Structure 1
Amino acid sequence: MAVLTDEEVNSAVTKLDDWEHAGGALRRSVKFPSFLGGIDAVRRVAEHAEHRDHHPDIDIRWRTVTFALVTHSEGGITDKDVQMAAEINEILGEV
């Protein structure tokens, strides 16, 4: 799987609500109304990621959860990350 160029990533981000291209990854931070709301969202994303065998880096800071996507085995952002970002948006829309 090919690593996307910065131009390709920046173009993809325009179609991914609330995501940014920062620090060599696709990133999205979400503030939830409660700590447990954030944990529930992480659980939903984690179950989906396990099924897809493509796992985001997840950072939990009280009510703020940050998801970061990069295909470590390829050394950069790939189409797999862009697709997972869109899928995470769908999952978070259900919360």
Structure 2
Amino acid sequence: MKQLDKDTIEAKLLQLPDWDYFDNALHAEFEFENFKDCFSAMSRIAFECESLGHHPDWSNVYNVLKISITTHDAGGVTDKDFELAKAIDFIVEPED
């Protein structure tokens, strides 16, 4: 997997408004109604991570989930990271 350059990352982030790029990784923070909803989203994300074979660095405190994604083997952000970020957005975004 090839590391993406900063311009490519910034362009791809236009499609992911909840995500930022700093410290050589994609970062997002999501707030839920309560701990149960946060943990439920984390469980669904975990299944998606296993499916993609790609795992984020994350933490949660009560109803807030913080996620950082990078491809360690490539030394930075790759298309694989964006694929996971899109999958996470699909899981955490409320349906209209």
Alignment correspondent of 1:13: 13
Q: Which moved more, 1:44-53 or 1:85-94?
A: 85-94
- Aligned counterparts of 2:11 and 2:79: Cα–Cα separation in 1: 12
Q: What letter corresponds to residue 93 of structure 1 in structure 2? A: E
Q: Please, what is the CA RMSD of the aligned residues?
A: 1.3
How far off its partner does 1:54 sit?
A: 0.6
SS in 1 for 2:47: helix
Cα offsets for 1:6-59 (capped at 9, x unmatched)? 111111111113111122111110011101111110000001101111111111
2:71 maps to 71
Structure 1: 5+ residue stretches without partners: none
Look up the match of 1:46: 46
| Number of residue equivalences | 95
Matched, 1:60 2:54: no
Which letter does structure 1 place at the counterpart of 2:37? G
State the TM-score, normalized to the length of structure 2.
Answer: 0.92
Identical aligned residues as a percent: 29
SS in 1 for 2:54: coil
**Alignment-mate amino acid for residue 37 of structure 1:** D
Normalization by structure 1: what TM-score? Answer: 0.93
The residue aligned with 2:32 is 32
Structure 2 counterpart of 1:8, which letter? Answer: T
The answer for unaligned runs of 5 or more in structure 2 is none
How far apart are the structure 1 equivalents of 2:31 and 2:8?
28
